[in-house]
Amino acid sequence: MTAVLSVRNLHKSYAGQAVVDGLGISVNKGECYGMLGPNGAGKTTTLRLMLGLIEPDSGSLSLLGHAVPEHAREARLRVGVVPQVDNLDPDFTVAENLLVYGRYFGMADAKIQARIPDLLDFANLAHKRDAKIPTLSGGMKRRLTLARALVNDPDIIFLDEPTTGLDPQARHLIWQRLRELTMQGKTLLLTTHFMDEAERLCHRLAILDHGRMVAEDTPRDMIAKHIEPQVVEVYGERTSAWADEHAAHYCERFEISGETAFCYVRDAQPLLAHLHAQNDLRYLHRPANLEDVFLKLTGREMRE
């Protein structure tokens, strides 16, 4: 496998505060690689370092065979970026946004114009070709931003929280498009804090916290390695009293968050039989998922 992006021992701090702290990442061609992490974990800073927009304090970066930041300009010729906050040109129509953006890559107008219909089809925006940006919905703007990132037919696409703020319908459409891109052989690097997004889309994942990588694996192995396979969530007013008395007996590991006890077990049957007899507790039995791993590794306390 060839690495299209490799990062070694990357450090970046602001005012003495380490934001990226010894990070190493290697992304292979054709792979969808996800970076998960709570707010302030250093995801966006890492992306900006990878694109050569800011300089690392130390460490080495290589993107599509070019040393970054020294040759970031050459690398970015073959890169597409979907930023976290929309920055479409509000004065332009949908098609003009694509045309103007293509010019930044040195593409001839005729070549961009020839690509626009395909890009609009991909983004389900063919009917909005001449619409002004302020008239588009949030989902449409995101799709246009994705289409804009593809105008130069990039080899790798960086997506910074591509579905944040979208409704479920809009989110599913974006997911479908991202899967199509990986099927076409594009490499994707995305940051998210939606676990289902990461689980569905990514071949491999890294969980970042405080600028460090705390785990890296395929979504399936990440769950298998880091956490018990079954989860029983117990909730109700009496949860904490119940947990004090019984949780240690029935659960291999448990955590209490608010009025809910999360019980992690290999075999849920004894616990479920016990809970069945408790009339004042409600519970939910489910397989462990990525969110459980994420919360285990990065903690439950709020990040602000």
Partner 1 sequence: MNRRHFSLPSVSPRFFPIWRRHLLVWKKIAGTSIIGHIADPMIYLLGLGYGLGSLVPQMGGTPYLVFLAAGTVCYSTMNSASFEALYSGFARMHDQRTWEAIMNTPVTLDDIVLAEILWAASKATLSGVAVLGVVYLLGLSHSALTLWLIPLAVLIGLCFAALGLIMTALAPSYDFFMYYFTLVITPMMLLSGVFFPMEQLPKLWQNLSAILPLTHAVEIARPLMTGTVPSGALLHVGALLGYTLAGFYVSLVLFRRRLSR
Nearer to partner 1, 18 or 77 (CB): 77
Which listed residue (25, 27, 50, 51) binds partner 1 by CB under 8 A?
Answer: 51
**Which CB sits closer to partner 1, 73 or 282?**
73
Q: What are the beta bridge partners of residue 6?
A: 26, 62
Q: Are 206 and 26 in contact (CB under 8 A)?
A: no
Residues between 71 and 100 that touch partner 1 (CB under 8 A): 73-74, 76-77, 79, 81, 83, 85, 87-92, 96, 100
Asked whether the beta carbons of 67 and 61 are under 8 A apart, the reply is yes
Rounded distance, CA 41 to CA 58, Å?
18
Task: Tell me how crowded residue 140 is: count the other CB atoms within 10 A of its CB.
Answer: 18
Pairing of strands 187-192, 156-160: parallel
Name the minimum Å distance from CB 11 to partner 1.
14
Please report whether residue 105 would count as binding partner 1 according to CB under 8 A: yes
Total residues at interface with partner 1 (CB under 8 A): 27
Q: How far is CA 43 from CA 34, 50, 71, 129, 171, in A?
A: 10, 11, 22, 33, 20
Q: Which is nearer to partner 1, 50 or 215 (CB)?
A: 50
H-helix or E-strand containing 22? Answer: strand 17-28
What's the min distance (Å) between Cβ of 270 and partner 1?
54
**Nearest Cα residue to 233 out of 214, 255, 266:** 255
Nearer to partner 1, 158 or 194 (CB): 158
Contact string 111-150 vs partner 1 (x = CB under 8 A): ----------------------------------------
Binding piece for partner 1, criterion CB under 8 A, among 51-59, 196-204, 220-228, 279-287: 51-59
**70 touches partner 1 (CB under 8 A):** no
> Looking at 98-211, which runs of residues are DSSP E strands?
156-160, 187-192, 204-209
Can you give the binding site for partner 1, defined by CB under 8 A?
A: 14, 51, 53-55, 73-74, 76-77, 79, 81, 83, 85, 87-92, 96, 100-101, 103-106, 152
